[in-house]
A = this chain, B = another copy of it.
Amino acid sequence: MSELRKDPIIGRWVIIAPERGKRPLDFNATQPSASPKTPPLTCPFCEGNESITPPEIYALRQPPSTPNGKNWLVRVVPNKFPALAIEGNLDKRGKGLYDEMHGIGAHEIIIETPQHFASFTPLPDEHIQHILTTYQARMQDLKKDTRFVFGLVFKNVGDRAGASLEHSHSQLVVTPIVPIRILGEIGGAQHFHNYRGRCIFCDIIHQEIDDNERIVINDEHFIAVCPFAPRFPFETWILPKQHLTHFETTPSDLIPDLSHITKQVFLKLEKALNNPAYNMLIHTTPFTMDSPEYYHWHIEIIPRITRVAGFEWGTGFYINSVPPEDAAKYLQGVK
């Protein structure tokens, strides 16, 4: 079982998840740096290959169909090599200065399409709605477990972004700890709210609309912007315009609009950057918090076209050579 361990200085948790049978020398740097792409014939995520994955946890299916058979639209399975295990107790404990607990949590794969697409952009808007409502359903289910406090939906596309399988999929990791990155955002947003009595994300949306310099798409219910202080070239965020705290309880009548803007943003990024590697992630309020006035869910998209080096690791500063105004203007123009 993996262990969660806390850095005592900075308070950051890490997951120590030894890969069974892998010895230190297996990390020898002459080995290929990434898993080879699985050829479509044996892709475990393709329709017809359902038996290669662990049994499904959830699926949107079309009749006639049976669990773990064909005829599905979106399918959720446990990660075959999970970072966190669903069974067991946390067994929180100290070791002198150090804190650790068992690596308990959920680690699921959302297979976004039965066909072997490398992106979800060829799918119709209606299918993307199915993907988004699947994220919601899985989070709704897992938040019932009182061991869990936070869920992150994310997507790695391309070797440089850490993807090991090409078939379009995303992941959901649910943790027993609110992650430091989320604590940082919540802390900042709380501080702002204490001082001004408003949600900082709502204020950002208003300022972005007023400034009109960093908007990629401005729809009725959602806005896509290149943020004012982006870490990476072409970093893009999607935010609901109304104050919504939890992604998983976003009203169903907004999902068609969210599907539409998400697909449009990715179409633009894929075209502008020629199918870049990227990470996408959804930042949402922890399960354990009701609907705070100060925190607002949003999607962050990080094209991985530059390297992160010693300066970034050492300082937490990022050097970005594309001003977000230029990136937004460029993406606006991409049809």
Contact = CB atoms under 8 A, between A and B. Distances in A.
B19 A321 contact: yes
Given A276-B29, A309-B162, A8 B321 contact: no
Nearest to A312: B162
Most chain B CB inside 10 Å of its own CB: which residue of A156, A313, A330: A313
Interface string A266-306: 00000011111101111100000000000000001011011
A251 interface: no
Contacts of A179: 314-317
Nearest to A186: B9
Contacts of A234: 24, 27
B307 A34 contact: yes
Contact of A319 (B10, B83, B310): B83
B154 A314 contact: yes
B156 A12 contact: no
Given A5-B228, A310-B162, A311-B152, A18 B300 contact: no
Contacts of A42: none
Contacts of A146: none
B161 A8 contact: no
Interface in A223-237: 227-231, 233-234
Contacts of A33: 160, 305, 307
A320 B17 contact: yes
A181 B316 contact: yes
Interface residues of chain A: helix, strand, loop or mixed (majority): mixed
Given A8-B188, A17-B321, A189-B9, A309 B272 contact: no
Interface string A166-177: 000001010100
Contacts of A316: 12, 179-182, 184
Contacts of A175: 315, 317
A327 interface: yes
Chain B CB within 10 Å, residue with most, of A18, A162, A314:
A314
Interface stretch (A55-63, A127-135, A200-208, A252-260): A200-208
A13 interface: yes
A188 B24 contact: no
Nearest to A282: B314
Contacts of A152: 311, 314-315
A186 B162 CA distance: 31
A22 B317 contact: no
B310 A5 contact: no
The 6 closest A-B pairs by CB, nearest first: A162-B309, A154-B310, A179-B315, A281-B314, A181-B316, A279-B310
10 contacts: A8-B229, A9-B200, A10-B181, A10-B184, A17-B319, A24-B326, A97-B207, A173-B315, A179-B314, A300-B314
